[in-house]
C-alpha cells in the first residue's frame, strides 16, 4: 500500500505548500487527483518520488511505501525505488530522456539495468511496447533522438518504458495531455491492464479519463484536498468554487453558457 498520512510540505521561506494531505492507494486501485494549476499537485508528486528540491521539505506527516517510511530512507535507497516500485509518467516527456542519446539506447540500458534482460531482449521489448502504444514505426522511433520526436511520441515512449518495468505504484502526471483520441484510448487501456497488479495515482483534468480509470477522485486547492468522490459525484454535487467551475465547464450545456447555481 502507498499511504500518505497528514503530509505537509514547507518551502524555504516558510510557506506551506501542502497541508495535512492524507490518502492511500492499494494494488488494483486507481485514484484520481485534479485541481487548478498551482494547487500543489506537482509538489505532491515530488514528495511521493522523494525528490523535493529548492529548499522544500516535509514538515509533517508520513509517506509509507509497502510499510517503509519513504523520507526515512537514504537518497540512494529512494532512487532505487524509482522505476521498480514507484513508476512515473511525466507531463513533459522531454524531461524523461537524455537529449544527447538515441531513444533506443536509453530504453535498452534502463531495461537491462532494471530487469536483467539482455540487450537484444530489451530492444525487442521496447519495440513491442511502442507498437502496442500506437507507434507505427517503432524501430525508427528507437533510432531517433528525443528532439526528433513529437511530444505525443515521447509521451508514449515514456509510458512504454515505465510499463515494461512493472512498478507496484504508477504516478501519472497528465499522461493523456499530448495524445490524440486514438492514442489516449490505447494508453488508458494499458493503464487499466496495469491496474490489475499495481496501484495508480492519475493526475489529470481529463474528465472522461478520470471517470474511466479511477474510482475515487480527489480535488486539490491551495495545497489541501478539499473534496473527494467519484467523478459522477464531484460533477453532480460540487462543493468548492473551483469544482463548481470545473463541473460547469464539463457540463453538456456549457457551450450554451450553463453555470452552476446550486
| Sheet arrangement for strand 199-203 | 86-89, 169-173, 199-203, 30-34, 217-221, 224-229
pLDDT for position 198: 95
pLDDT for position 230: 94
pLDDT for position 251: 66
- Asked whether residue 79 falls in the same domain as residue 2, the answer is yes
Q: pLDDT of 73-84, one tens digit each?
A: 998 888 888 878
Q: What range defines the domain where residue 33 resides?
A: 1-85+167-234
Low-confidence ranges of the chain (pLDDT < 70): 251-262
- Asked whether residue 177 falls in the same domain as residue 158, the answer is no
CATH number of the domain enclosing 80: 3.40.50.300
Q: Which residues, 6 or more positions from 72, have their beta carbon under 8 angstroms from its beta carbon?
A: none
- Tell me, yes or no, whether 5 lies in a domain: yes
Q: pLDDT of 194-222, one tens digit each?
A: 898 999 999 999 999 999 999 999 999 99
Put simply, whether the predicted model's pTM sits higher than 0.85 gets the answer yes
- Asked whether residue 119 falls in the same domain as residue 198, the answer is no
pLDDT for position 24: 97
Percent of the chain with pLDDT over 90: 56
- Asked whether residue 109 falls in the same domain as residue 214, the answer is no
CB 236 within 8 A of CB 54: no
pLDDT for position 255: 43
Distance of alpha carbon 10 from its chain centroid, rounded? 22
Amino acid at each position: 500500500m502507498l499511504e500518505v498520512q497528514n503530509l505537509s510540505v514547507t518551502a524555504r521561506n516558510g510557506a506551506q505548500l501542502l497541508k495535512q494531505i492524507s490518502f492511500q492507494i492499494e494494488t488494483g486501485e486507481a485514484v484520481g487527483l485534479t485541481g487548478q494549476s498551482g494547487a500543489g499537485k506537482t509538489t505532491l508528486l515530488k514528495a511521493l518520488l522523494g525528490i523535493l528540491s529548492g529548499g522544500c521539505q516535509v514538515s509533517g506527516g508520513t509517506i509509507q511505501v509497502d510499510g517503509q517510511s519513504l523520507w526515512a530512507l537514504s537518497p540512494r535507497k529512494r532512487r532505487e525505488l524509482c522505476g521498480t516500485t514507484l513508476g512515473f509518467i511525466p507531463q513533459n516527456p522531454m524531461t524523461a530522456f537524455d537529449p544527447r542519446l538515441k531513444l533506443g539506447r536509453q530504453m535498452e540500458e534502463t531495461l537491462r539495468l532494471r530487469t536483467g534482460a539482455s540487450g537484444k531482449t530489451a530492444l525487442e521489448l521496447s519495440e513491442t511496447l511502442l507498437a502496442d502504444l500506437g507507434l507505427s514505426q517503432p524501430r525508427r522511433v528507437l533510432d531517433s533522438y528525443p528532439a526528433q520526436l513529437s511530444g505525443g511520441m515521447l509521451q508514449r515512449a515514456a509510458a512504454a518504458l515505465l510499463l515494461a518495468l512493472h512498478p507496484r505504484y504508477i504516478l501519472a502526471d497528465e499522461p493523456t495531455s499530448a495524445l490524440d483520441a486514438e492514442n489516449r484510448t490505447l494508453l488508458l487501456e494499458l493503464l487499466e491492464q496495469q491496474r490489475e497488479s499495481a496501484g495508480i495515482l492519475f493526475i489529470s483534468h481529463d474528465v472522461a479519463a478520470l471517470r474511466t480509470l479511477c474510482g475515487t477522485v480527489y480535488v486539490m486547492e491551495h495545497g489541501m484536498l478539499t473534496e473527494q468522490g467519484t467523478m459522477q459525484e464531484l460533477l453532480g454535487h460540487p462543493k468548492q468554487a473551483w469544482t463548481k467551475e470545473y463541473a460547469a465547464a464539463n457540463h453538456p450545456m456549457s457551450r450554451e453558457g450553463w453555470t452552476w447555481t446550486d
